[in-house]
Amino acid sequence: MTAMDKRAIDFFEVTGDDYRMGVLIGRHFRDYLGGIEAGFAAMLPGHIQRVKALESKLAKRLPSCLDEIYGRADGAGVSRDVMLLIMFPEIYGGTDGCTTAYFKTADRAILAHNEDSSTMNLDNVALIRYKYDDMTLVAYTSAIRLAGSAFAFNSHGMAFSSNHIFGGERDMDEISRFILLRDVINSASIDEAIDKVRSVDVASPFNLNLLDVRSARMCNVERDLHDLHVEYITSRYTHSNHFVTKPFDSARVPVNSVFRREKSSELLAELPGSASIDDVLGVLAYEGDGYDRSVFERRSSYPDRICTIATFAIDSATGDCRVLDFLGNGVFRFSPDGELLSTSPLSRA
């Protein structure tokens, strides 16, 4: 029996202030974080000056995120300095790949996203509902990242997904984009999300995909170290793990990133104007002849490579909101405001 056969991905709720939410999440991932602490502690002496400088920047610019990091460390029983190092993967490496599809008509918008990873498993990821006094947020959350690095949606009517961009510059003295995005996913509008992305210097480039479910507005944001490009989507659009808004060095980008975007764009263009959320999910489910010719990369076929571990999709017209979990092989259906409506086995395992 493999890990994927044992159980569904964990889904649970956290409440309280940012620190308290962090404590609860840290407790949930305590075994995993305790197991990796020694390895990061061994790295820490070579990076402690940078980590402390970044801690000071977070205290000034994103204090709520710093509080959550402290909480996660305390809840897991690991050093706060070690947890800070873990939360800055630009320092030590560690990025994955993803594919996003936008489908837009005059009165409808569907956002769908494949989350790909080589390291995530049922011990270090969970679906978490963050319950605030004035807002509910549901996010696919990793033990080693704050929410926002994958996909999320909130009761303000906003949905988000994010993709790492290969081939760009890095500045390890700036705030990780993985931390910035934790603040972004609390946004109540596209404009607020863009303002937050604009306001903080980041350590690495990324793409942010935004959907306002209420207005059916969609937006692609590409953030480099020094540039911000915003494009409102009026038809069909895809993104993977390289720059779309400016030239990129193909030698520094995984071959399958280019294929995934080209193939998903081709398949998306073939859909009729009446296409459903299932049709768009079908685009992201494409499996070709080999790893580098697939959009959906099956972990059982490529166990040592970056593969698709979850897919998220939301339809502004119907309110259909789904998470397909390929680690535990289940489907979670939510209302757009975060209520879990049902769970069922995944037919495509």
172 and 256 assigned to the same domain = yes
- Contact yes or no for 190/220 (Cβ under 8 A): no
* Boundary (domain end) residue, out of 91, 124, 151: 91
Number of alpha carbons in the 13 Å side-chain half-sphere of residue 193: 33
Write out the residue range of the structural domain in which residue 76 sits. 3-91
277 and 206 assigned to the same domain = yes
* Boundary (domain end) residue, out of 71, 91, 111: 91
* Boundary (domain end) residue, out of 91, 118, 141: 91
196 and 224 assigned to the same domain = yes
297-327: pLDDT as tens digits: 999 999 889 999 999 999 999 999 999 999 9
CATH code of residue 263: 3.60.60.10
Number of domains, the chain: 2
- pLDDT of the residue at 1: 29
- pLDDT of the residue at 197: 97
52 and 37 assigned to the same domain = yes
- pLDDT of the residue at 245: 87
What distance in Å separates the CA atoms of residue 187 and residue 53, rounded to the nearest whole number?
27
76 and 104 assigned to the same domain = no
- pLDDT of the residue at 6: 53
What distance in Å separates the CA atoms of residue 102 and residue 134, rounded to the nearest whole number?
29
**Tens-of-pLDDT digits for all 349 residues of the chain?**
233 345 789 999 999 999 999 999 999 999 999 999 999 999 999 999 999 999 999 999 999 999 999 999 999 999 999 999 999 999 998 667 899 999 999 999 999 999 999 999 999 999 999 999 999 999 999 999 999 999 999 999 999 999 999 888 899 999 999 999 999 999 999 999 999 999 999 999 999 999 999 999 999 999 999 899 999 999 999 999 999 988 888 778 878 899 999 999 999 999 999 999 999 999 999 999 999 999 999 999 998 899 999 999 999 999 999 999 999 999 999 999 999 999 999 986 5
162 and 200 assigned to the same domain = yes
In this prediction, what percent of the chain has a pLDDT beyond 90? 88
85 and 165 assigned to the same domain = no
Sign of the CA dihedral 333, 2, 78, 144? Answer: negative
161 and 298 assigned to the same domain = yes
Q: What are phi and psi of 238, to 5 degrees?
A: -140, 160
97 and 228 assigned to the same domain = yes
